[in-house]
Amino acid sequence: MAQPLEIALPPDFVLDERYVIRVTALDPSTGNVVSGVNVADVTFMVDNLTGGDLASGSFGPFLLVPGPSA
């Protein structure tokens, strides 16, 4: 049975190009991703600050580029 839950996001957070919004399931103890959980419908509501086509954004797992300190 679905459990409707609501928790907070940071307010006034402006996200630049190539930033990633990840929806995931985390282990409560380790913070690692828990396998065996599927993510189906995901809907963001956003203010489109540049007015471009957001539908061209890519959904799905992809290889992240390691940061300088990685």
Partner 1 sequence: MASEPVRSTAVIAAPKDYSIPSAQVIQLLSVTASFTDNGAASDWLPAVVIMDNNGNALCRATDQGVKVTAGSDAEVSWFPGVNRATSSTTPTTTRLPWCLAEGDLTTNGSLPSYFDFATKDTSDYQLDAGSSHVQIIGAGTYRVTVSAAIESGTLGAATVLDLDCAFTAPHGINYLQNIGSTGWVSIGHALGGTPIWNCIQQFVVSNNAGNTHTLDVSLTSNPAAAETADHYVEIERIDDPYGSPL
* C-alpha angle 21-35-9 in degrees, rounded to nearest 5: 30
Token representation of residue 53: 């086509």
- Minimum CB separation of residue 63 from partner 1 in Å reads 9
Give the nearest distance from C-beta 42 to partner 1 in angstroms: 5
Using DSSP, state whether 29 is helix, strand or coil: coil
- Work out how close the CB of 1 gets to partner 1 at its nearest, in angstroms, rounded to a whole number: 7
Residue numbers of the site for partner 1 (CB under 8 A)? 1-28, 31, 33-62, 64-68, 70
- Check if the beta carbon of residue 61 is closer than 8 Å to that of residue 70: no
CA 70 to chain centre: 20
